[in-house]
Chains A and B, each alone.
Chain A
């Protein structure tokens, strides 16, 4: 296996104006060291063989590309394929990245990993690879999120991780990320920070993208087999920080012949309500967690809390490479409300017997709008980033009349 080389970022970790390293100076040498180590190991045959080995035998790659015939017939337009990241070990795409970073951590001789988590998906995934690699693991989670996601907290503990509640700010993902960065600033010499998405200071967005790009590369090979062509007509993925989306966008984005790349942000209660996670749709350029990106903030630059029915999309920023794609027109970004996402969730359950993560349900819901407008010989690939087991309790609560 190979890890990809894309034209961006530049040597300073920039995607046009986005990205960079806006962090306390204490971390700069560590980021330089990490960049150097990553650039070395990404071409190291024994590192790549180890990564490939675990992807195949532990994660279960390649994940299937499934032709969703019932959904296709129901919507009456383009052929819809689902890239089944929900079938990965731990139930989402996250592990492609956490596994790669944990292996890198081991090669760099660090014994302790730090992570932030919102709903707990990334935290579980980091706790999992930490158990596998024998690494000490500390996960920061907002106190409010810990209460809402008690099961994932217990999962992390079962896996041997220490979960530390974060009481500052809004007590959710962005504050957990601040706290993880503070831990890293303090323990930078012996700890490795595993960020959960394509956000954070360079080289994180690049590393997470490279580790996730295997998803898009597999799609090309699988589509060649299924349809006799590598390029679908449209690729749809939900966008929180943007890691599952970049994994299926980047392999196509820099080609001359590009499918439509459509990132679906969480519109929550609607753009006008102020309760949403439309970082690209309603945000402005700003700096959070070490990178310049599209971001939700008020007139004074104070970060605005995001909202989504899906905890994994509930983040006020979006990765620098997506920010660049949006500005350069390489990809389109749209919004799907909580209500529409729940409809997408139900649709996939009923028609295909697949319970999607609420995050992924946003991508389903947008495909349900787009497919009928397309021709039957056209092909849409949806990145089904995760399974919905983690969400069934929440969906039950909402279906029984609770507020999203």
Chain B
């Protein structure tokens, strides 16, 4: 299933797309796939995080998860194997979320090859403004990976015009000026922000950072085509609550009645 199809299907069903986040190696080797199985029925697309030592775009929840995963000795090759395992379970689009340095360390071509072969659909690079390295972006795209970059409430029209065309997967719109984390409310002004973005791209737009409950999901759905849920899922796991509880709540905000999408 392509990314566009995944968003289109959600839309046809009167929903904004739900994009849960899971991290390779969290909460442990093997148990990460259990979390995938819990979230997959609710997912239109899936975001898979590669744990990193210095996640400067992330708040405390994802930082903690990264540390847990790295303590398990999770390597890039393990993350690729994890993607392969997920791919065996689903046709849905899988986006790898990774900071840039692991890509550079492995070598961009080899890195992209590994994840393409594993079944990833695309990449999200939170610390790479695409115009910093257009060749790297072109390389990924040329190898059949879609690319997704971030835009934010601070983004000027000039930045939106620059970044949006590089988003061949979807546009990841950061809801707040801040890092990832759980929030009760998102700022006002999201529809205006997404409206500004849509002037420069036809790609689907998803809201991320802070979507955690029915209210925030509703705000995301009113503005955009989808919502990423990350910290709220990890926190639910930390607190020993079921992920499904969070997913149902978020889904209720994205749509009418809750329930598995497939």
Residues of A at under 8 Å CB distance from B? 20-30, 32, 168-169, 174-175, 178, 181-182, 185-189, 284-290, 295, 297-303
Contact = CB atoms under 8 A, between A and B. Distances in A.
A28 B56 contact: no
B29 interface: no
Contact of B104 (A21, A30, A186, A286): A286
Contacts of B179: 24, 182, 185-186
11 contacts: A22-B128, A25-B129, A26-B154, A168-B64, A182-B179, A185-B179, A189-B154, A297-B101, A301-B102, A302-B53, A302-B102
Given A24-B150, A174-B54, A189-B177, A286 B105 contact: yes
Given A20-B132, A22-B127, A285-B104, A303 B54 contact: yes
A301 B127 contact: no
B101 A182 contact: no
Contact of B129 (A28, A175, A285, A302): A28
B67 A300 contact: no
A287 B101 contact: yes
Interface in B59-94: 59-60, 63-64, 67, 70, 75-76
A28 to B, nearest CB: 6
Interface residues of B, number: 42
Interface of B: 52-57, 59-60, 63-64, 67, 70, 75-76, 99-106, 126-129, 132, 149-156, 159, 163, 174, 176-179
Given A24-B126, A29-B154, A188-B154, A182 B59 contact: yes
Given A185-B179, A188-B154, A23 B129 contact: yes
Name the residue among B75, B104, B150 with the largest chain A CB count within 10 angstroms: B104
Given A21-B129, A303-B101, A289 B151 contact: no
A29 B250 CA distance: 31
Given A28-B154, A178-B54, A284-B105, 16 more contacts: A20-B132, A22-B100, A22-B128, A23-B129, A24-B179, A29-B154, A32-B156, A169-B53, A174-B54, A182-B178, A188-B177, A287-B101, A298-B105, A299-B105, A300-B76, A301-B102
Contacts of B56: 23-24, 178, 181-182, 289
Contacts of A298: 105
B254 to A, nearest CB: 24
Contacts of A288: 54, 101
B101 A186 contact: no
8 shortest interchain CB distances as A-B pairs: A301-B105, A301-B102, A26-B152, A301-B101, A186-B178, A302-B53, A25-B150, A24-B57
B177 A26 contact: yes
A298 B75 CA distance: 10
A24 B152 contact: yes
A290 to B, nearest CB: 8
B70 to A, nearest CB: 7
A302 B70 contact: yes
Nearest to A31: B129
Given A25-B129, A26-B154, A300-B76, A185 B178 contact: yes
Contacts of B174: 24-26
B54 A169 contact: yes
B105 A185 contact: no
Contacts of B128: 22
B90 to A, nearest CB: 26
Given A24-B57, A286-B105, A299-B105, A168 B154 contact: no
A174 B53 CA distance: 10
A381 to B, nearest CB: 36
Name the residue among A185, A186, A187 with the largest chain B CB count within 10 angstroms: A185
A29 B159 CA distance: 8
Given A168-B67, A286-B104, A185 B132 contact: no
